[in-house]
Amino acid sequence: MNCPECGASLERRNLASVIVDECVECGGIWFDRDELRRAKDAAEPDANWLDFEAWKHTDSVHGKPAGMDCPSCEVPLLELTYGDTGVEIDHCPGCWGVWLAKGRFRAIVEALDKQIDSMPAAELFQATLREARSLIEGTEENLGSDWHDFATVLRLLEYRFLVDNPSVAAALARFQGGSPFR
């Protein structure tokens, strides 16, 4: 496989426990279908429940031409923004692979980390309810994955509540005889 940007060969490498194809010249990375989500989840486990909706609703993906062809199936790539991160990705509507220019994977992970850190308790509460509904209805991925997503967002809600309410955190610490953050 060759790089869609510079034409150099792509070499297999391990990125966050996922085997991807990286350009030896420009440092861009090709992710086959679902590899970007898996690498993102491994690199930032607290972001496992923040899945980019395009992957869930494949019929609603729209973007502008990226001016490059997919290195896997040669379909023209579409330029999209990854969720609310502001990071541009190049997506293949044929095989659902993703091309990221050098540094964009790290930018996605850092943007998701900032998004989680700045998320207000009310938004985390709403996310907890959505994940609970998904868990009960079984509408998303699989039971194990749904449970993990629910537990992650519930834990983040707990942390946000304690950070936003230091007097409650201090009272819990006194009651437990230690730190509320275990």
- Side-chain-side CA neighbours of residue 17 (13 Å): 8
Q: What is the pLDDT of residue 120?
A: 92
Per-residue pLDDT, 13: 96
* pTM of the model as a whole: 0.80
Give residue 136's pLDDT.
Answer: 84
Write a three-state SS string for the chain. CECCCCCCEEEEEEECCEEEEEECCCCCEEECCCHHHHHHHHHCHHHCCCCCHHHCCHHHCCCEEEEEECCCCCCEEEEEECCCCCCEEEECCCCCCEEECCCHHHHHHHHHHHHHHHCCHHHHHHHHHHHHHHHHHCCCCCHHHHHHHHHHHHHHHHHHHHHHCHHHHHHHHHHHCCCCCC
pLDDT of residue 54: 55
pLDDT at residue 170, rounded to an integer: 82
pLDDT given for residue 131 in this prediction = 86
Distance (Å, whole) CA 52 – CA 54: 6
Look up tokens 């790290």; give the residue.
106
One digit per residue, the tens of pLDDT, for the chain of length 182 reads 999 999 999 999 999 999 999 999 999 999 999 999 999 999 999 988 887 655 554 555 567 899 999 999 999 999 998 888 889 999 999 999 999 999 999 999 999 999 999 999 999 999 889 888 888 887 656 777 788 888 888 888 888 888 888 888 788 778 877 655 55
What pLDDT is stored for residue 158 in this prediction? Answer: 87
- pLDDT score of 101: 97
What per-residue confidence (pLDDT) applies to 122? 92
